[in-house]
Amino acid sequence: MKVRSPFFAACCIAATALSLSLGACTSREEAARQGYAEYQAAFAAGDLEAARKALLKVVQAKDDEATYWEALGKVQIQLGAFGEAYDAFTRAYELDRNNADTLANLTQISLLSGDIDKSEDFARQLEVVDPNQPVIKLAYGYAAIKRLDLDDAEKNVDALMEIMPYETGVKLLKARVLVGRGKSDEAEALLKEQIRMRPNDFAATKGLMALAERQEDWPDVAAAATKAANLKPEETAIRLKAIDAALRYKDYPQARRAAQPMLTPNAPGDQVGDVLSLWKDRWNSPEAVAAARELSKTAGPQQQLAYATYFNEVGKPEYAMELIGSQPILPITITNSGTNAIIAESLAQTGRAAEAKKLFDTILLKEPDHVYALRARINLEIRAGMAKAAINDAQRLVSVLPKSARDRLLLAKAYAAAGDDRQLDRTLWDAFHEIRGDRSIYEALRAHIARSEGPDAAQDVDEEYRHQLDAELIQEFF
């Protein structure tokens, strides 16, 4: 038997390891090439989802190639996945910091997300690599708007208007400059001309909606929001804006037409609930209740809960009981706690307060953060003169949903019931500053300040609210 030296054995081991390493490397490169070919075929066929899946396999196999990450970023943009696109372009940027296309895309995505500072930083880097990229001036223009430097913003946007007169981002920036100069009519005309030239321009239509809302021109808000919602049916928040605007100027038939796509028999229960919440706030009438009752006849199980909640909120618990019953579902579980909470609220409104309180307590013992049960128990406690308990529940509710204007106002209502004006004042001001631009909070705070401090102080609230809306308008104009 031939005996090999230790040196020879070590060399064999090293060679074997190198061979395995090279084999793995070759295998990864082959997987990347195959995945990239699949991406190209899917992209040529217009199947963006398949293209994305193929590229995800590519970057998993070989994550150190900037070209692959850039291609993935572009596909993610086309699919509207801007967060994922940003991540992909960021990895491409890490691998190649002098790629103008990557920097341009990072600049634009940062703008779209509202991160103006980051967009301006990428634009400065891009200016070194390719100073002729138009997005540089766009980023600098929005950064100037943020600094309230209208002259610099206008200088940048006017240069862009000469070469890109119908680019949406450019038109929105120009409109924002005009608003800043007090020329809202010219801004409105500019956006309407953009929509005339490009009828499917969602961003310009949304910008027109925001401008009309800033001026409290509710018919124009309703028209623009309805058009925007038709362009992007998945944008339910915009359709809700159309419904709200129509209700504000009391065009109830228009509000119902705008609501129809959100109240179909197969619509999600939460979506139906959002519409009915607007009806409760803006159209509290027998006609609205009758319309809801008719719609509830064809509602599915989740929709029935939304309608029953609405009937309770407008003081028609008997209609809620028709839909979901008048007796608790036992044993109480997390699965049926939502239905039981609505039943408890119906009981509370029909003279069975003690039974309702016991049911709420049982639900919240099992599920302490149950939003509907908390809200209903708070209202029950306020009606029963149990203000301290209502405050405790409302504080918990706000901790669960800190950005909910509705629940901040419920906490304020609990403090008002307790006669604690100092905490009432603090709660409304905190909500006003932390949930900026919310009209319901503004209206509640203004009414409170007008009562407690007089009309001059209320005008100060008006002025601060206008500043908040201006800040919101910047976001809407990306």
pLDDT digits (tens, 9 = 90+) for 115-153: 899 999 999 999 999 999 999 999 999 999 888 899 999
Checking if the pLDDT of 457 tops 50, the result is: yes
At residue 478 the predicted structure's pLDDT band, cuts being 50, 70 and 90, is low
In this structure, are residues 377 and 394 in contact, taking their beta carbons and an 8 Å threshold? no
pLDDT digits (tens, 9 = 90+) for 35-82: 999 999 999 999 999 999 999 999 999 999 999 999 999 999 999 899
In this structure, are residues 153 and 137 in contact, taking their beta carbons and an 8 Å threshold? no
Is the pTM here over 0.85, yes or no?
Answer: no
Checking if the pLDDT of 475 tops 90, the result is: no
pLDDT digits (tens, 9 = 90+) for 234-271: 999 999 999 999 999 999 999 999 999 999 988 999 99
pLDDT for residue 164: 93
At residue 27 the predicted structure's pLDDT band, cuts being 50, 70 and 90, is confident
CB atoms within 10 A of CB 334: 10
Amino acid at 359: L
Q: Which two tokens stand for residue 81?
A: 């996945």
Does residue 331 have a cis bond before it (omega within 30 degrees)?
yes
Average the pLDDT over 181-201 and give the result: 94
pLDDT digits (tens, 9 = 90+) for 331-355: 999 999 999 999 999 999 999 999 9
CB atoms within 10 A of CB 11: 12
How far apart are alpha carbons 348 and 340 in whole angstroms?
12
At residue 436 the predicted structure's pLDDT band, cuts being 50, 70 and 90, is very high
pLDDT for residue 1: 43
